Structure 1
Amino acid sequence: MKAHRIIERVQREQRAQFGVKNPRTLIAVTPTYVRTFQTLHLTGVMHSLMLVPYDLVWIVVEAGGTSNETASLIAKSGLRTIHVGYKERMPSSWADRHRLEAKMRLHALKIVREEKLDGIVMFADDSNMHSMELFDEIQNVKWVGALSVGILAHSNNADESSVSAAEKEADNPPIPVQGPACNSSNKLVGWHTFNSLPYVEKSANYIDDWGTVLPRKFEWAGFVVNSRLLWKDYDEKPEWMKDLALVDGVDDMESPLVLMKDTSVVEPLGRCGRQVMLWWLRVEARSDSKFPPGWVIDPPLEITVPSKRTPWPDAPPELPSIDKSISVQEQMVAVKRPPKTRSSRSKRSSRSKRKHEARTVETQVSAKQTEQN
């Protein structure tokens, strides 16, 4: 533990000297709902946020209202959390789920406006994976920033028989990326989008479908926003930023770009989009799958495959009866005690006595010889 504290101290000093001088608070927005993989996904993003070296506020919006499962899970983070519920339940189709998640994120942005939270708003979906460099990079944004998102979509179920290898390589790169596109001067000139054509016929429409889950044209996770743009009364708000009240009735907000009148002012981050620091993934279990609440197994599961050898015997040893124990005690009393043996002390005294007598005899003999002479 001492070595860990030394490393932590060194890293803190390095950030103070070479890192962000005046870091702003990060405001992470996460839509979620109770399901089989919620603990898996939410634990991953929670541990990523716990490693952030800056002040952080975690807004968790839960579909169908707040639940004890989600509350107990996010309470383990020790972060400053705002856990709110959303009245609508999460639908089973992916298209409707994307739309509802956009509404839940908009609900979180309203909380940022009402509470006047100051910092950088990022959209941390519970199933996404984040690099720690991401949290340092978004500190560089002034108003609205865009990041490249790696799309982790497998092609096992896509119809590849009618598409040649050259066409697949040209139309769909090995690692699909969604994000800003820059010119040689590092200026935003367009966007990279995910090519979904090879997956359209075999894409998943419902959570229970066996197919590829496709991302939207622009994922919310690829954008960060200065929270002051969301405040109701902010004198320095740019003219190209819309008010949240104007988009409140929009049924489908595909990305934060809907909040902007001019998207050319977006600031590309991550070496102008060339560095991927965020990965998008959607993996879910069947909607009717069974799992214990909070993944706590109580009562214990039944034994389905018994072990061949167990550490305990098949039958407990037989304890002696009362009659047998009494007879054994009587036999022990009847046994005579063995005779006492001479102790080592008495042996030593007898040996010293014999030595003393021998010396006395020798003295007397020598005295007689002297008298005779």
Structure 2
Amino acid sequence: MTFFFQKVIRIMFILGLHSIPSCLGSWRHADRMPLKKKHILAFVVIVVPVATLLLQASYYGTIEPLVAPGQDIGARGIGTVRIFFPRGNKEHCTKRVYVRPPPWSHSLPTIYVITPTYTRLVQKADLTRMSNTLLHVANLHWIVVEDADKKTSLVGNLLKNTGLNYTHLNVQEVEKLTSRGSRQRNLALTWLRDTFGVNDSHHGVVFFGDDDNTYSLQLFDEMRYTEKVSVWPVGFTGAMRYQSIKVNALGKVYGWKTRYAPDRPFAIDMAGFAVNLKLLLSKPKANFRLYNVDVGQQETRFLEDLVTIDDLEPKADNCTKVLVWHTRTEKPPPFFSGADPSIET
């Protein structure tokens, strides 16, 4: 703040120098002015500029602690505010950079979004789109797990530049599994169990969000206070316009709206549920199967280790609204060679 007030004083001094001639010219005729006009002139020339500058100083002083460099948890809004005076006759400039998520709140449960990812042409585009959504969500920690033998600079630099709270992990699929991403999700679950204890006071919810989906911000508000497992519809999946959950008049889940294997114990999509962190920590054997799992059974086997259908909490207006969609990015056509390979796309 000391630096900023020095700038304010400098601005006041410069404005004062520029206003002296006009002030003098005005006051030469002050004797001919009525008293009321004298007061108005003094107010306009002196009080208004000073009050405006002090208000600006107060405003920037309020937000400056939120954007101090080196913070692990930033505040989305004005990330950098600089007022400077270039040499010459150029006007002063103000630069604002918007890079941070909302301020962290100790009263809100943390949302842990687990995202498996793998190298492909549209990987950076998908992760960028998803990060721009997550930047709007308070108290969010993004766990990104690469299917790779080592962490790539593409993903590492992207995560670093988002300003999000994140954990970057990697594990390579050494063999073709029935369900892509299972090993990566399990590694993220291991990280959570190694980081938090079941008796910790930390409150949170875990959501499995793939990088090629589209998410409404309302979805994160819906899942944040999950007590055990919350559920909701998913758009464009299971050969349907949307796949949903049957909810009775008492608000209890009793079945599934899906064309594919509706008799599954949990006929639900990976993007259609969230799990309370403490419940997950209390069930150390709850993981995704790597072998001998039929298509569409991965979610069922995982949830069977956690809850029964009676424990499910329908969200999104009793599962009448779609807040997440499978919008997989189309694979680009073949490209001609000759482009600079060092430029990431």
TM-score range, shorter chain: 0.5 to 0.7
CA 1:133–1:68: 2 relative to 1, 3 Å:
same
* Residue of structure 1 in register with 2:118 after alignment: 33
User: 1-side partners of 2:290 and 2:203: how far apart?
Assistant: 25
Number of residue equivalences: 233
* Residue of structure 2 in register with 1:221 after alignment: 271
More strand by share: 2
**What amino acid is the match of 1:224?**
A
**What amino acid is the match of 1:281?**
T
User: 2-side partners of 1:150 and 1:247: how far apart?
Assistant: 23
Task: Describe the superposition over 1:16-47 as per-residue Cα deviations: whole angstroms up to 9, x where unpaired.
Answer: 9xxx9942111011000111010111111111
Q: State which structure, 1 or 2, has the greater radius of gyration over its C-alpha atoms.
A: 1
Contact 1:144 1:267 in 2 (8 A): yes
CA 1:118–1:184: 2 relative to 1, 3 Å:
closer
SS in 1 for 2:108: coil
Contact 1:128 1:278 in 2 (8 A): yes
**What amino acid is the match of 1:271?**
D
Q: Does 1:254 align with 2:298?
A: yes
Cα RMSD of the aligned pairs, angstroms, is 3.7
Question: 1:152-167 residue pairs with structure 2 within 5 A?
Answer: none
User: 1-side partners of 2:232 and 2:272: how far apart?
Assistant: 5
* Residue of structure 1 in register with 2:284 after alignment: 243
Q: Aligned-pair distance for 1:264?
A: 2.6
User: 2-side partners of 1:141 and 1:181: how far apart?
Assistant: 19
Unaligned 5+ segments in structure 1 are 10-14, 154-171, 197-215, 235-241, 298-373
User: 2-side partners of 1:288 and 1:86: how far apart?
Assistant: 29
> Sequence identity, in percent?
28
Unaligned 5+ segments in structure 2 are 1-55, 64-76, 79-101, 197-201
* Residue of structure 2 in register with 1:189 after alignment: 254
1:265 to 305, 311, 325: 311
Question: 1:59-208 residue pairs with structure 2 within 5 A?
Answer: 59-65=143-149, 66-88=151-173, 96=177, 99-116=179-196, 118-151=203-236, 176-194=241-259
Question: 1:11-50 residue pairs with structure 2 within 5 A?
Answer: 22-50=107-135
CA 1:101–1:284: 2 relative to 1, 3 Å:
farther
Q: Aligned-pair distance for 1:190?
A: 0.6
Q: Aligned-pair distance for 1:50?
A: 0.7
User: 1-side partners of 2:292 and 2:146: how far apart?
Assistant: 19
User: 1-side partners of 2:165 and 2:326: how far apart?
Assistant: 25
User: 1-side partners of 2:242 and 2:187: how far apart?
Assistant: 28
User: 1-side partners of 2:205 and 2:160: how far apart?
Assistant: 22
Displaced runs of 4 or more, over 3 A: 245-253, 286-297
CA 1:191–1:217: 2 relative to 1, 3 Å:
closer
Contact 1:31 1:105 in 2 (8 A): yes
Contact 2:110 2:140 in 1 (8 A): yes
User: 2-side partners of 1:130 and 1:152: how far apart?
Assistant: 14
Contact 2:252 2:312 in 1 (8 A): no
User: 1-side partners of 2:287 and 2:135: how far apart?
Assistant: 35
* Residue of structure 2 in register with 1:362 after alignment: none
Task: Describe the superposition over 1:109-136 as per-residue Cα deviations: whole angstroms up to 9, x where unpaired.
Answer: 1111111174111111100000011111
Contact 1:144 1:225 in 2 (8 A): yes
SS in 2 for 1:88: coil
Structure with the greater relative contact order (CA < 8 A, sep ≥ 6): 1 or 2?
A: 1
SS in 2 for 1:23: coil
CA 1:283–1:74: 2 relative to 1, 3 Å:
same
